[in-house]
Chains A and B, each alone.
Chain A
Amino acid sequence: MKKNLFASIIAMLTVGMTLTSCSDDKTPIVPQTAVSLEIPANLENVDLSGAKVVMTNVATQSAHVVSSDNLFQKNGNKYQVLINDLEEGTYNISISGHLDFTLNNVAGQKDFEITSENVKISETSAAVQMVVSTFTAQGGFVISEIFFTGTSTAEGKSYSGDQYIRITNNSDVTLYADSIAVLESAFLTTQKQEYTPDIMSTDFSVQACYMIPGTGKSVPVEPGASLTLAVNAINHTAEQPNSIDLSQADFEFYDESSNANFTDPDGKAPNLDKWYCYTATIYQFHSRGFNSMAIAKMKATKEDWLANNVYDAKYLFVFGDFSREMTKKGIYKVPNSWILDGVNLSVESVREWNVLDASIDAGWTYCGKVDKDETRFNKAVIRKQDANGKYVDTNNSTNDFTPEAAASLVKN
């Protein structure tokens, strides 16, 4: 169980503030100095807490400290604090604090401390501009790996119980994974149909939606850290030596069932909240990768989403001498605006189209070049990393992913 393990770091600053310079020199006093703090523009719903401004007079080494949150006035993407009766002079300024925000709809947090040295403050220059530049808050959660093929056993059979998907916080701020859902496309990339209505540019049609539960800030993920979401979060190597120990996975796709034909082992990992699934049998990823996958921040309540996000699509089905207008009834949809990342999966020999809008994924990736390719086992699609270790995310999985990569959790 992933607890909120993020330790809030409280900046411990030196306490030389008792030393106050008291001079009779006629150093002019600046009645009001405005210190403004600019935070990265792409953060939304920013909330500053534990903020502290320390203005140290270079000449006297006296420090002026403001640490009351309510003195920081929010104005757009800026905070401003007014400091009264400051001696004119040169100051070293340091601002630290804690930011809570949403980044691309995902809740996040970050501590910061920025400094600026030798800032001259006078009556004519009583405004100080500070920019939070210690992080850029670029990126967010990405799908870093999908292991949908399963492993192969010593007997040459496929073993699909060890499928998993990993999502990684690709930003430099801590993000919360609460309410992020794993979505599987309702349409196959290997079967193109002209669906009416065609909602692909605005919504993603899904056949499975499993959401990470939480109260909003239950599942913090530090920058660069990943969550492993396993189809069965158990130690598979006990039964299947070539497989994976997924008992430490962060979440599990658990399928509660009363039918003895469909028993899903319930490992220790917390279960995803199964909002919707097209089948009452056991859920698993398409082991050849015919469905596209996405992650989305669910912005509606379960009841609301279930009640209001379903539509029917018509299409012309042609098979041999059979040609019929068909209805695919009850397709759930998730607005593209909720989607954090998506990956089209397919197989070259049978691929027909992408089922995610190009703004989410303009390309596609794969394991196996022909249908039922037996060489695909033990392989995954893994997002590429740049020189800094950041995952590449150009919204084009052809470019961003390494197809047929050795699955990161499979030994050997």
Chain B
Amino acid sequence: MQRCFLLMIAVVILQSINAQGVLKGLVTDKDTHEPIIGATITDAVKRKPLTVTNADGCFVIPKKGDAQHSAQQIKITYIGYKPLTVKATANGHYELEAEISKLGEVVVTAQESRGLTSASKIEKHAMEHLQPSSFADLLELLPGGRSKDPVLSTPNNIHIRELSTGNANYATSSLGTSFVIDGAPISTNANMQYMAGAWDAAATARDNTNAGVDMRSISTDDIESVEVVRGIPSVEYGDLTSGLVKIERRKGGHDLNFRLKADMGSKLMYVAKDMEWQEKHLSLNLSADYLNAKADPRNRLENYKRVTLSARLNKAWEHESYNLQLTTNADYTGSFDNDKQDPDLNYHQEDSYKSSYNRMALMSQLQMKMKRQLWLKSVGLTVSAAYEHNLMERTRFIQLSRMTVAPTSKEEGENDAYILPFKYVGYHKVDGKPLNTYAKLNMRLQVPSNKVSNTLLLGADWNIDKNLGQGQVFDPYKPVYTSISSRQRALKEIPANHRVSAYAEENIKWPTPVGTFELMAGIRGTQMLNLPQAYTMHGKTYWDPRANIGYTLPKLTVFGKPTFIRLAGGIGQHTKMPTMEQLFPDKLYIDFIQLNYYHDNPDYRRINLMTYIRDPRNTALEPARNLKWEVSTDITLGGNRLAVTFFREKMTSGFRSQSYYDTYTYKQYDASAINADALTAQPDLGSLTYQEVNELAGYANYTNGSLTLKEGIEYTLETVRFPVILTRLTINGAYLRTTYNNSIVDSYRPSVVIDNRQLQYVGLYANDDGSVREQFNTNFTLDTDVPKLKLGFSLSAQCLWFTTSQRKEVSNYPTQYIAPDGSIHEWQDEYANDTYLRWLVRDYSASLFEKNRVPFSMNLNFKVTKKLLDDRLNVAMFCNRLLNYAPDYDSRGTTIRRHETPYFGLEMNLKI
């Protein structure tokens, strides 16, 4: 496939077209100076269409003799813009004026993108107004979003178009949302930062393995704009199922910026220096950011800190035939969680959790844009490398309440367990050093045409994830978690994940008298390399075809106002490869007690184990695949815009951890024959009688059993700013419906002990667990901008009309059960009365599957910004839930009262 690809590049480069004898021009938006793609150039006299602008906004008209040419009048038209009739000049730059000018407009909300697929664009102004602490706060602006108090003591995951339950078995949506910063994706595939055996909230609540990017670690201060693609992204972007977050950071400028922010849980400081040497086409942006947040302001010992440092160098070279642009970014992100018990309250014993995430990233992007009329329009090469040094540490004074053993054998077979001392300081660390390298070659080609504006995108990328860390490191003789069932293994032993992809996409814009047709259709193929042959994915290419089409009606006039209507739709497949942990999970050590002998003399105690090693890797694991489709309409009436999208996303192969049971054999020694008084050493196993026993033991492995179905309608209505009151109304919201379902047979072994032994049976339950959640919300945002007073404020009434949740009805009765010898039996109704088997009947009551509906509630949020000192100082404050209306409601005879408290914050931005 790659060879083919190289051949194509060569062909394209050779196919340069003689650029002589043509007249060139560039068409841009008068306000934004962005190129206008697909504008029609017509001979103003003959009224004959000549050509259309290409993806760079450029057009070329063949010369028809010098004399005739110089006097040529051309008419440039594009929907949404006032037609421009002008005399053509050589290398002319034509600016089209929008029907409704947005010049000087300050937008403090997210805007629906003008692209073919549904995406939200969040610009700098909106962020300044929102006053975020981390990227997570921006999600309030998406349809379906609502202001939430920042929770910075645990990882923040993204859930686009989803009403998440937080269940780790349905985390593929957040794992499958790709964050691309300045063209380089953040990879979390080699994240192995989980604390094996942990049961305490300090460690488990902060586990972000297989859940994607932790948005806390993304600072918003350098961001110029964000595009959250909720719909079907270009095939240029891969290894995602659910969405794409494209972050563009500031380039150039001359300011020295300071930002100080404080809210009820955190403080943030930011300083940035922008430098630009225009004549050299060189710019450098330096910035530093520090965030300090506490879960509870009264507790200094549980906190979260973030430090980000960024240096971004941009250099451009302009040549006659091409422009070259080089972007080089160096970034550091430090993200630190601390949770410690106060030693003064803990008898001076240590009990602490620390997690540090240190990410150093270097990326370089070289972009070459052809000025000449070639098939090849641009070539871009992006190379990035990110090295993380992540360390999780748990130190804890352990005092056992009973004799506890530490199984230490790394071999399968019989062995004696180590009996732990009753007191020790346990230390467990997780050392992860994920290294990600990424390279992408991208090129845009164009078949010259004067009928359609077209671009062919071709590219390939290669991603390597490796973890060089030591993984779980602990002294097995002093474990923090005595019930740990894995042993140490260095992460560098795990083979690197290689992922190669190639893609091709055609973008067409075809203006016709009956409207403009647009098409974006492409395909992406992805394969994982370096996988052992046993894996189903070995050598298999997964294809993601994606297409979006659009049709824009010709300009209409409604109520005397220019009106534009666009209808669009798309369908696409999205693939997310499993992570390193999902492909190569830790081996599981299952230890059965064969002899448990206690003696007053510690030297005579003996606990003999039979150790089995189970490799829980599932070689049949395949990528998670999400099929999305959506239809949307975008109506602009006199500058008021309504965008409505109906979508449906079905991912049937989401990752989940599922438990399975196998039967194991071990010896059960009879210790009653031991004469305790006659012992002079540990009892000898050879002299004891035993019985061979079968027992079932479970292990978990990753499967593709999670279904996530997302459906809904997203809508945004943006009005123009009403002149006298200087106020603009934005209504956005969504009806979202998320269905979760497990398609794999679930198994369950009750923990009860009947007649001295744990129940020896395991029930198998078909198609277990699942839920349906719905939410309908509307945010009414009135934002007022008073330029004279340099004052902007917004009032947002965030109405949650209802939320519902309903568990999928599952049977309490197993379909089958497993006996200790591993044999599987069909379930019979009469077993429900059997002394032992009855415990396999679970206790879900019918009402658990009833729909739970939470009625209307509304928050009123207020934000204000004021510019002072010649716009150099910007002071802002916000109050979320200044007013909260959440009436009591009845739920099955119980009155539920709801109450929420306001959340405040304020900040200062200084520009020098």
Contacts and interface: CB of A to CB of B under 8 A. Distances in A.
Interface of A: 150, 153, 155-161, 232, 234-235, 238-240, 247, 255-261, 263-268, 273-282, 284, 302-303, 306-307, 310, 312, 314, 316, 318, 320-330
A321 B896 contact: yes
A410 B845 CA distance: 46
In the A-B complex, the 5 residue pairs with the smallest Cβ-Cβ separation, listed nearest first, are A156-B347, A329-B843, A325-B847, A260-B591, A280-B758
Nearest to B695: A258
B158 interface: no
Interface stretch (B124-132, B230-238, B703-711, B746-754): B746-754
Given A278-B752, A284-B401, A330-B843, 5 more contacts: A161-B401, A274-B755, A276-B755, A322-B891, A323-B892
B482 interface: yes
B486 to A, nearest CB: 13
Band of interface residues on B = 35 or more
B752 A280 contact: yes
B300 to A, nearest CB: 21
Interface in B588-643: 591-593, 596-598, 600, 602, 607, 609
Contact of A256 (B482, B751, B756): B756
Interface stretch (B200-208, B497-505, B535-543, B834-842): B834-842
Nearest to A152: B347
A260 B892 contact: no
B67 to A, nearest CB: 81
Contacts of B360: none
B407 A267 contact: no
A238 B422 CA distance: 10
Contacts of B399: 153, 155, 157, 159
Which residue of A234, A280, A307 has the most chain B CB atoms within 10 A of its CB atom? A280
A245 to B, nearest CB: 10
Contacts of B181: none
A263 B852 contact: no
Most central of B347, B423, B755, B758 by chain A CB within 10 Å: B758
Nearest to B482: A261
Contact of B598 (A256, A267, A273, A277): A267
B850 to A, nearest CB: 8
Given A306-B835, A330-B838, A279 B593 contact: no
B786 interface: no
Contacts of B596: 256-257, 263-266
B844 interface: yes
A285 B894 CA distance: 33
A280 B598 contact: no
B417 interface: yes
Contacts of B407: 260
A239 B891 contact: no
Nearest to B591: A260
A260 B752 contact: no
20 contacts: A161-B402, A238-B602, A240-B422, A257-B593, A258-B666, A258-B693, A258-B758, A260-B405, A260-B592, A263-B403, A263-B404, A263-B607, A280-B751, A280-B759, A303-B835, A316-B892, A323-B891, A323-B893, A325-B847, A325-B848
Contacts of A276: 752-755
A155 B397 contact: yes
Contacts of B756: 256, 273-274
Interface of B: 346-347, 349, 397, 399, 401-405, 407, 417, 422-423, 482-483, 485, 591-593, 596-598, 600, 602, 607, 609, 666, 668, 671, 676, 693, 695, 751-759, 835, 838-839, 841-848, 850, 852, 854, 891-894, 896, 898
A157 B345 CA distance: 11
B578 to A, nearest CB: 29
Contact of B843 (A239, A268, A312): A312
Contacts of B751: 278-281
B402 A265 contact: yes
B597 to A, nearest CB: 7
Contacts of A307: 835
Nearest to B594: A258
A321 B891 contact: yes
Contact of A258 (B483, B592, B754, B844): B592
A325 B755 CA distance: 31
Contact of A232 (B402, B597, B842): B402
A234 B600 contact: yes
A267 B601 CA distance: 12
Contact of A324 (B607, B755, B839, B848): B848
Nearest to A324: B847
A150 B400 CA distance: 12
Contact of B896 (A255, A263, A320, A327): A320
A261 B481 CA distance: 10
A327 B896 CA distance: 21
A161 B404 CA distance: 11
B752 A239 contact: no
A158 B596 CA distance: 25
Contacts of A157: 347, 349, 397, 399
Contacts of B402: 161, 232, 263-265, 282
Contacts of B759: 280
A282 to B, nearest CB: 6
A324 B845 contact: yes
Contacts of A261: 482-483, 485
B840 to A, nearest CB: 10
A195 to B, nearest CB: 13
A235 to B, nearest CB: 6
Contacts of B602: 238
A277 B752 contact: yes
Given A258-B695, A327-B843, A321 B600 contact: no
Contacts of A318: 894
